[in-house]
Structure 1
């Protein structure tokens, strides 16, 4: 009887050790990061958010039935997917340097205080930052057209790995009937 209890005790101890060892295997050792000196980069470009025409760069993928006229291009609760070109200048035929892909939702009932909440990955496809991007996740108070508005940079990849910072957005041109807009982005990016 004592030997059965002793065997059971040892079996339980081995099970505890095995379970403890397997639970620790999902991570490696923590090491001190050996980061280079932090850099600050300023990038200025234009984003073309086109909702109209045969080839829009942003499309409404969902909207609430109860929050306004269905003919409103950006009614409250509307969710958009975007694949917007990034260009050097505001003109439609300006040199394309990347694209802004992501989503945004109309997040304000009061059109006088029109605000969107957006997630976007702004990827650069030419030049010094080819293959790099900055990630945005922020509230964008679009109705503050008179001046610049600020949104947060929350990450990046490539040369902008571990990025943080902000983007000052100024509306260059907007058509309130169609929702089409050309926006000037002035990004201050802190990265390693």
Structure 2
């Protein structure tokens, strides 16, 4: 008899805790802000040679050339981001980070960078982008893992495609299409 009474008390207690939990979590969920979705296209201006270099190798395998496709080479980057493909287009900000040639065959690398916005609409905000970039793929996809300012709590993805390459002067343009959800 005592065991039956104890089980009824325990079941009632569990039911009470369950109802309280559901009520609490639904209150939290309903008070949270709706996520916004933002789509952007931007162009990364990449200079690996000349007076305005924006990518430089800082580490690599001793005795080997430090090239973007040489396993173990680490580059730091500080590339202008523009609204259009021309280097004279209006500035949106800068992409600052690292590229590590992380595949033995040299065909892909780890990309980690912050897009710091300076344009009027997103000034002071950032997006953090990372992922594996397969160098020869026509479209590469990277993760947007966080953000600040207008992109607080951002998550999403960025596709990047080589828009143009000028090998003799060491200049290329990469088009980024970014889709993010944020607060």
Give me the TM-score of the superposition, normalised by structure 2.
0.77
Tell me the distance in 2 between the aligned counterparts of 1:178 and 1:61: 21
Contact 1:45–1:185 (8 Å) recurs in 2: yes
RMSD: 2.1
Q: 1:66-145 residue pairs with structure 2 within 5 A?
A: 68=64, 70=65, 72-111=67-106, 114-145=107-138
Tell me the distance in 2 between the aligned counterparts of 1:71 and 1:159: 37
Dislocated runs of 4+, deviation >6 Å: none
Q: Number of residues paired by the alignment?
A: 156
After superposition, what is the alpha-carbon deviation per residue over 1:12-41, rounded to whole angstroms, capped at 9, x for unaligned?
xxxxxxxxxxxxxxxxxxxx5843110100
Contact 1:167–1:186 (8 Å) recurs in 2: yes
After superposition, what is the alpha-carbon deviation per residue over 1:101-136, rounded to whole angstroms, capped at 9, x for unaligned?
01110112324xx11101100111012111111101
Look up the SS of the partner of 1:49 in the other structure. Answer: strand
Tell me the distance in 2 between the aligned counterparts of 1:106 and 1:175: 21
Tell me the distance in 2 between the aligned counterparts of 1:175 and 1:185: 18
- Which residue matches 1:3? none
Structure 1 residue 43: deviation in Å? 0.8
Contact 1:73–1:179 (8 Å) recurs in 2: no
Tell me the distance in 2 between the aligned counterparts of 1:165 and 1:60: 29
Higher strand fraction: Structure 1 or Structure 2? 2
Look up the SS of the partner of 1:126 in the other structure. Answer: coil
Structure 1 residue 142: deviation in Å? 1.7
Structure 1 residue 161: deviation in Å? 0.5
Contact 2:56–2:77 (8 Å) recurs in 1: yes
Tell me the distance in 2 between the aligned counterparts of 1:153 and 1:142: 19
Contact 1:74–1:179 (8 Å) recurs in 2: no
| Residues 165 and 123 (structure 1), Cα distance of their counterparts in 2 relative to 1, 3 Å cut | same
Contact 1:107–1:115 (8 Å) recurs in 2: yes
Give me the TM-score of the superposition, normalised by structure 1.
0.74
Unaligned runs of 5+ in 2: 1-27
When structure 1 is superposed on structure 2, of 96-105 and 57-66 the one drifting more is 57-66
